[in-house]
Structure 1
């Protein structure tokens, strides 16, 4: 309790907390995009439930990993060397998660481009197996993003209470934003393709990180923000053209 009081009175701890909360929220965007796209494949009555379960699992996994910080730190130690790079368990987890994300995004892009091909969709056919498969895939990606998130937190502050508060804040933001983001993606087909492209880029970045090539996160998220801004302008332009056509049709009807 005394340690917590000392942290509350320490301005540096508050700066670390704010910085880490922002970082955790940004890192949670990747997780949330994947959950949104995946759950939109489910029947409407199961979507919100799957999102809550997926985000709840992300919270449990992050808090569980925080309880094993000493073990998490060891994940960054090399276990073998290949191609002149020492691979750690963290690297292997990032590579596996990146490959999975690239595969899923590529498969979903293919089905989006070719709507007639329904041999296999992102999460299966039957509603029950679809729900189970969706939760399983969310759990797998939760693990990858959670390991990356917690290792980032450990690198930014040695104080466990700060890490816990940052994780709780980030997951709360994910929970609040999950339904609006998923609904927005579903209502705008072009956003779906953009979000899939984001997942493809995130997967490639995870693989690069696992192979020892550091990719500054700022560049990745700046590219995502710029692409989202361009798509927003396109949406505004399409809506303006649609309103103009509707106004023209109304005028012709009146005359």
Structure 2
């Protein structure tokens, strides 16, 4: 422990991983903001806290079971249909399924915000709304946690200090500390970010569009991990995350400029949680 604290490389690794966890957690914050925005206002902070605590818990648990996580990279079964070949792994199934869920949820939310609910559709019960929201958050957190942990493991060396690494225990400690620090930072800013997102319709639609992009990225990553191959030499590759996050930040920058230039204009009203709140208040 003393050697780790006195090692400047360990501090650099901790800062790097913390920054990476925050960047990778942006999609989590966007999802939390939009999903929790459908709840009554007094329940939204609780949903965000539960979501972020679940994210931290999943990541820490997966770190302690890192051997099992890495074993998911082993091929479960092969597919050979001539024109299509694959070696499906447990990890690829989780990532691919998470991408499908994110696409479905993002498109459903865009439809709800733009088109609203059908008049004949039953109204959600107030007592079940928070539970349903937490379940959605937990499902997506599980996928994001796998992606985050595998990225962190790829950056931190578990070799012994004599070989230039931090050792197994040292690497696990660095990763746990980075997770705790990043979640604490995200908790501090989750409220203001959620308020800003839910008060600006264009930010909501942009956020949902980003989630669609991330869903596509997860589908590509899951296909790559499963070694999807069409024909003799057409193998599915991954989408570099740098390109994706650059497009997200650039789009947000452009929208911030638009908001600042048109701050006196009244935004359009989307179908959102305010409708639910009014229904609950009248009952």
TM-score by length of 1: 0.87
Aligned to 1:211: 223
After TM superposition, give the deviation of residue 240 of structure 1 in Å. 5.7
CA offsets 1:83-131 (integer angstroms, 9 cap, x no match)? 333222111111111100100100111112213646669xx71111111
State the alpha-carbon separation in 1 of the partners of residues 218 and 87 from structure 2. Answer: 16
Aligned to 1:253: none
SS in 2 for 1:18: helix
179, 182, 185: which one aligns with 2:191: 179
Aligned to 2:57: 60
SS in 1 for 2:39: coil
33, 42, 50: which one aligns with 2:39: 42
Aligned to 1:81: 78
- Alignment CA distance shift 1:118-1:69 (3 Å): farther
Q: What are the residue-to-residue correspondences of 1:65-144 with 2, within 5 Å?
A: 65-82=62-79, 83-115=84-116, 117=118, 125-144=124-143
- Alignment CA distance shift 1:67-1:229 (3 Å): same
Unaligned 5+ segments in structure 1 are 243-255
After TM superposition, give the deviation of residue 67 of structure 1 in Å. 1.0
State the alpha-carbon separation in 2 of the partners of residues 119 and 206 from structure 1. Answer: 35
- Alignment CA distance shift 1:235-1:169 (3 Å): same
Q: Which moved more, 1:176-185 or 1:85-94?
A: 85-94
Q: How many residues align?
A: 237
SS in 1 for 2:247: helix
Aligned to 2:256: 232
State the alpha-carbon separation in 1 of the partners of residues 5 and 61 from structure 2. Answer: 24
Contact 1:111 1:118 in 2 (8 A): no
State the alpha-carbon separation in 2 of the partners of residues 128 and 111 from structure 1. Answer: 21
TM-score by length of 2: 0.79
Unaligned 5+ segments in structure 2 are 159-170, 225-236, 267-283
